[in-house]
Amino acid sequence: MGIKKIAFVIRSMPYKTEVSKLAIAHAIASQTAEIYLENGEIVEPVLCFIGDGVFNCIKNQHSMKHYGVTSIEQHIKNALLLDLKVMICKEDLNKSGIREDAVVMDAAEMGGESRSIIAPYQDIQKEMNSADHLMFF
């Protein structure tokens, strides 16, 4: 019984390797993990974008147009649509000159209600501290 929180900490650049997209896909897969678990057991994922990982969150990605593959932006929106907690490091956005209005904040056009959280690293650290398991991608 109970909830286990798993923090998926994404530090990798988008598209250079597939790992950031896979990390998001694994976090989303938590929604169906219960088929392998007992009643009342829940996996609660949280996605944290830090360091170079914040580049994954930039809006208006056109990977489908140029490479024929789904975008990481779409994956983040799918996560938000499923009410996964998405945190983006404020300092790392600032360091890279990425404006806060340039990142994926919601999936409103798909009917999603959850929003990304742009948070200072201190808050992301707290989130990681409260997780049962950490995975760095």
Does residue 83 belong to the site contacting other proteins (CB under 8 A)?
no
Task: Write b or e for each residue in 58-94: b if 16 or more Cβ atoms lie within 10 A of its Cβ, otherwise e.
Answer: beebebeeeeeeebbbbbbbbbbbeebbbbbbbebbe
Q: Between 35 and 97, whose beta carbon lies closer to other proteins?
A: 35
How far is it, in rounded angstroms, from Cα 31 to Cα 78?
A: 12
Interacting residue with other proteins among 13, 26, 51, 117 (CB under 8 A):
26
Q: Does 135 bind other proteins (CB under 8 A)?
A: yes
Interacting residue with other proteins among 13, 25, 58, 128 (CB under 8 A): 25
Among 79, 119, 130, 137, binds other proteins (CB under 8 A): 137
- The reply to whether 49 sits near other proteins by the rule CB under 8 A is no
CA dihedral defined by 56, 60, 61, 63, rounded to 10 degrees?
160
85-89 vs 41-49, strand pairing mode: parallel
- The residue from 13, 17, 56, 129 that contacts other proteins (CB under 8 A) is 17
Angle between helices 19-28 and 72-81 (to 10 degrees): 20
Residue 28 or 72 having the CB closest to other proteins: 28
Q: Is 4 in the site for other proteins (CB under 8 A)?
A: yes
Which structure tokens are listed for 10? 């994404």
**Residue 100 sits in the site that holds other proteins (CB under 8 A):** no
Q: Does 62 bind other proteins (CB under 8 A)?
A: no
Give min distance, CB of 82 to other proteins, in A. 13
